[in-house]
A and B are shown apart, each in its own frame.
Chain A
Amino acid sequence: MKTTKSNSTLLVALFPLAIILLGYNFLFHWPMQRELRASSAKLENLESRRVDKIDLVSNEELLKRLRREQSETSVAIGDQRQQLQTFSPTALRSVDETGIVNRLTELFRKHGLQMQDHEIVSESLPPGITKLDQVLQQHGLASGAPGSSNTQGSRRRSRPNPSANPNNGNSSNSTISRTLCRFTLRGTYGDFLSGMEDLAKTSPQTVPIRLEMEPIKFNEVERVWILVVLIG
């Protein structure tokens, strides 16, 4: 009888304990255990994909090196673009075309050639120059937009020869406008040849693209030369 009584006392005393434990289990313990299990699984997963600090550091160093190399490459690209830019007519835009003509006139005169006439003309360009313009356009260096020149008077500008390059129209939205100047000179074969060589050495931007030599007149040593030069 005593045992039964003490057992019931124990049960009564343990009842709230059981209620509290049940409540704790339902409300706190099990959710916490779920979170712990989830975090444990996540942790195991992350541990399997653990990244060593060494890898991080080596990647950061690699990134720095690549950025440095990329920067050097960009500088090299800039240099190359700048060099290529010299083939663009914009290289001559800053120079007065009249000044170029005067300078060429002076050059030819120095070699004994008489300047009979010169004019800005519109002619087809040689395939090489056309292709050069296409290359410049591909690299975004075709900035020689019409109207940027400061040459006065009537101007005729050359356009790339469509027949020489059928794809020219599709290569770029912007096109290169070249300025051609046709000189009519009078002089001997030798004078003209030395003038041409001097022109090539001293004025690399003024490229001869067409040459005509007219027949010589009887008992004369001088003849008429027509030279078309790319001046911009």
Chain B
Amino acid sequence: MSSILILITEHELYRFDLKGGRRPKIGNHWELNRVDTDDLATSVDKVLRQGPKRGANVYVLNSDWWFGTCSLGQDVLRQIDQEGIRQSLAIEAEAVSGLDAFESRVAYHPVNRTISGSDYLVLQVPEMDLLAIDDVVRQWGGKLKGLAHPSLSTVTSNSAGRRMCLEAWPDVTAVAQTMAGAETRNEVLPGGLHLGSVQEEVKQLIAAAVEESALPEGASGASAGTANEWLEVVPSGAARWFAELGLNGDEGVQIIQMEEWIRRWGEVINGRSRTEIPFVSPGKRPIGNQSRVALAALFGLLTIVGCFGHWLLSQRTLQTRQTTISGLESDIRRFGELQKQVTEIEREASLSQQELDSLSRDQAWATITRDVHLYRHAELLVALAELTPKEVLIDQIDGEADRVVVSGYSLDSQNCDRLTVKLAERVRAFGWRVHPCKVTLNEKQVYEFQIELTDDIDTVDAERTRAAIAERREQGSSSAEVNPDSIANSNTPPQLEGRQR
């Protein structure tokens, strides 16, 4: 970033545009006459606007500001910090400059430290000037970097060889001395070189310097070609005073030209030796109302954006969570439905199985029941044919739905009983219960008997009945060969024939 140096003297205003780094070059420069009625800020504004507008660091040098030496005792220094030193120096300077310590800004640099205390170079700038110039520079588009007194720029710690520089300003006369490799010794004398006291002091300083450095005779101005090697004077206007001091400008003093002087200031502000020169910096300005509003709006906007982002993030988290929840709920619901269906179908299966068992059982029972009814009468007839002895006549069979009565005649009652027992054993599998034989002896001395069979299908043994029916089926044709009619006809005993008819 380029720099602009504004120099304000008693009657002139200068603007120098500096280019380059540690050894800057002077670019364009402008010069105006200073109007007495203009305040400092107006003067700065005028001279700034002479050149093109571009962002630059602006330094303002003004010889009007108070610049001098103040001392602080060691006892005071022990009790205060840097800010305390600044405030103490402001109060010290107030006594000399007349500027209120609380309405001014102070910059300082120590120049001499002793056991009893320290001397400081102090620059005091009215706060009002600082703020006004800062405003002007900002409005113009630059950045105010520092305010300084124009003196003390030309001798720096890295100056080669023995140097002594005297800067004569209307209210200040600054003397800087340095030996090669030694620290620079600065001294600021209050008052211009036109003052006799200042001249006397300067004279003594030069004499002391001459003596100290064992300069050849005439170095005080008599001998040509000696003093000009080490004594420099700024500005050129001060040359006339040197004549009064016995120094010849042509022989003993090197007059520093404006261009060289500005170049040296350029080196100072670019950091080569700035720390030795007190600068008042504007510091951070309080924010204006418009800026406050803008800042507040910016913060608000950022906050809204942040909140919106946070809300979106939360919303996304919530949506993700809700998606997970709905998935889990769906799984659980599906699982519940499946379990319910499983339970339901298991219940139905149980019922179906019961129904199937019942149907199977009933079907088996129905089959047996039907087969029993199909074969029971045939079996009864076969049994009677096979079991009835020759002494017994089966005469009649009466039947009802649940009852059969076999009637007949016998010569012997025991035959009836035997027939009954055998018949009961034979037809039990077909659901007949054979009751005891009822036997009566008639007037012809023939036994009449009745064998009652009642339906007892509920008590049949299914397996036995099934086997009996199967046997009945197989033996059907063979049983047909039995001729039971012979029992009732040809084989009827003679005693029974009459009764039979």
Residue of A nearest to B348 (CB): A70
| Chain B contacts for A14, CB-based, 8 A | 296, 299
Chain B, residues 9-41, CB within 8 Å of chain A (1/0): the string is: 000000000000000000000000000000000
Question: A6, A161, A189: which contacts B381 (Cβ < 8 A)?
Answer: A189
Interface status of A143 (Cβ within 8 A of chain B):
no
Considering only residues 457-491 of chain B, those with a C-beta below 8 Å from chain A are: 457-458, 472-473, 476-477, 479-480, 482-485, 487-489
Contact in complex: B455, A128 (CB < 8 Å): yes
B353: min CB distance to chain A, Å: 6
Considering the chains assembled together, what is the distance between the CA atoms of A188 and B486 in angstroms?
10
Contact in complex: A35, B318 (CB < 8 Å): yes
Given A28-B311, A51-B331, A51-B332: A36 touches B317 (CB 8 Å cut-off): yes
Interface status of A211 (Cβ within 8 A of chain B):
yes
Contact in complex: B363, A84 (CB < 8 Å): yes
| Chain A contacts for B377, CB-based, 8 A | 196, 208, 211, 227
Given A39-B321, A197-B480: A221 touches B359 (CB 8 Å cut-off): no
Known: A20-B307, A127-B455. 13 other contacts (CB 8 A): A28-B307, A51-B335, A56-B338, A59-B335, A62-B342, A63-B338, A63-B342, A84-B366, A126-B457, A189-B483, A194-B476, A208-B373, A223-B488
Q: Which residues on B are within 8 Å of A, measured CB to CB?
A: 284, 286-287, 292, 295-297, 299-300, 303-304, 307, 310-311, 314-315, 317-318, 321-322, 324-325, 328-329, 331-332, 334-335, 338-339, 341-342, 345-346, 348-349, 352-353, 355-356, 358-360, 362-363, 365-366, 369-375, 377-378, 380-382, 385, 394-402, 404, 431, 455, 457-458, 472-473, 476-477, 479-480, 482-485, 487-489, 497, 500-501
B337: min CB distance to chain A, Å: 9
| Chain A contacts for B300, CB-based, 8 A | 16-17, 20
Interface status of A120 (Cβ within 8 A of chain B):
no
B449: min CB distance to chain A, Å: 14
Chain A, residues 61-78, CB within 8 Å of chain B (1/0): the string is: 011001101100110110
Contact in complex: A126, B373 (CB < 8 Å): yes
Contact in complex: A49, B332 (CB < 8 Å): yes
Contact in complex: B315, A135 (CB < 8 Å): no
Chain A, residues 188-232, CB within 8 Å of chain B (1/0): the string is: 111011101111110010011111111111100101001110100
| Chain B contacts for A128, CB-based, 8 A | 369, 372-373, 431, 455, 457
Contact in complex: B325, A43 (CB < 8 Å): yes
Give how many A-B residue pairs fall within 8 Å (CB-CB): 254
Interface status of A155 (Cβ within 8 A of chain B):
no
Considering the chains assembled together, what is the distance between the CA atoms of A185 and B496 in angstroms?
26
Interface status of A94 (Cβ within 8 A of chain B):
no
Total chain A interface residues with beta-carbon distance under 8 A: 93
Contact in complex: A211, B299 (CB < 8 Å): no
Question: B353, B369, B374: which contacts A131 (Cβ < 8 A)?
Answer: B369
| Chain A contacts for B400, CB-based, 8 A | 124, 210
Contact in complex: A21, B303 (CB < 8 Å): yes
Given A207-B370, A208-B373: A24 touches B352 (CB 8 Å cut-off): no
Considering the chains assembled together, what is the distance between the CA atoms of A167 and B296 in angstroms?
98
Question: B297, B321, B349: which contacts A70 (Cβ < 8 A)?
Answer: B349
Interface status of A142 (Cβ within 8 A of chain B):
no
| Chain B contacts for A63, CB-based, 8 A | 338, 341-342, 345
23 contacts between A and B (CB under 8 A): A13-B296, A29-B314, A36-B318, A39-B321, A51-B335, A59-B335, A66-B345, A127-B455, A128-B431, A132-B366, A135-B362, A138-B362, A161-B401, A164-B402, A189-B485, A190-B483, A193-B480, A194-B476, A199-B374, A201-B473, A208-B374, A211-B399, A221-B485
Contact in complex: B476, A129 (CB < 8 Å): no
B352: min CB distance to chain A, Å: 4
- Interface of B, helix, strand, loop or mixed by DSSP: helix
| Chain A contacts for B371, CB-based, 8 A | 204
Considering the chains assembled together, what is the distance between the CA atoms of A43 and B394 in angstroms?
92
A-B pairs, top 6 by smallest CB distance, nearest first, are: A218-B501, A213-B397, A80-B359, A194-B480, A197-B476, A196-B378
Given A46-B332, A216-B500: A32 touches B488 (CB 8 Å cut-off): no
| Chain B contacts for A9, CB-based, 8 A | 286-287, 292, 295
| Chain A contacts for B329, CB-based, 8 A | 46
Considering the chains assembled together, what is the distance between the CA atoms of A55 and B473 in angstroms?
57
Q: Which residues on A are within 8 Å of B, measured CB to CB?
A: 2, 5-6, 9, 12-17, 20-21, 24, 28-29, 32-33, 35-36, 39-40, 42-43, 46-47, 49-51, 53, 55-56, 59-60, 62-63, 66-67, 69-70, 73-74, 76-77, 80-81, 83-84, 87, 123-129, 131-132, 135, 138-139, 161, 164, 188-190, 192-194, 196-201, 204, 207-218, 221, 223, 226-228, 230
| Chain A contacts for B473, CB-based, 8 A | 200-201
Considering the chains assembled together, what is the distance between the CA atoms of A176 and B363 in angstroms?
17
Contact in complex: A190, B363 (CB < 8 Å): no
Contact in complex: A188, B397 (CB < 8 Å): no
Considering the chains assembled together, what is the distance between the CA atoms of A213 and B497 in angstroms?
18
A49: min CB distance to chain B, Å: 6
| Chain A contacts for B365, CB-based, 8 A | 135
Considering the chains assembled together, what is the distance between the CA atoms of A161 and B318 in angstroms?
77
Considering the chains assembled together, what is the distance between the CA atoms of A143 and B100 in angstroms?
128
Contact in complex: B484, A189 (CB < 8 Å): yes
| Chain B contacts for A189, CB-based, 8 A | 381, 385, 483-485, 487-488
| Chain A contacts for B401, CB-based, 8 A | 123-127, 161, 164, 209-210
Contact in complex: B404, A211 (CB < 8 Å): yes
Contact in complex: A81, B489 (CB < 8 Å): no
Question: B328, B342, B345, B381: which contacts A193 (Cβ < 8 A)?
Answer: B381
| Chain B contacts for A81, CB-based, 8 A | 359
Considering the chains assembled together, what is the distance between the CA atoms of A182 and B382 in angstroms?
22
| Chain B contacts for A212, CB-based, 8 A | 397-399
| Chain A contacts for B287, CB-based, 8 A | 6, 9, 13
Contact in complex: A200, B374 (CB < 8 Å): yes
| Chain B contacts for A33, CB-based, 8 A | 314
Considering the chains assembled together, what is the distance between the CA atoms of A200 and B385 in angstroms?
19
A57: min CB distance to chain B, Å: 10
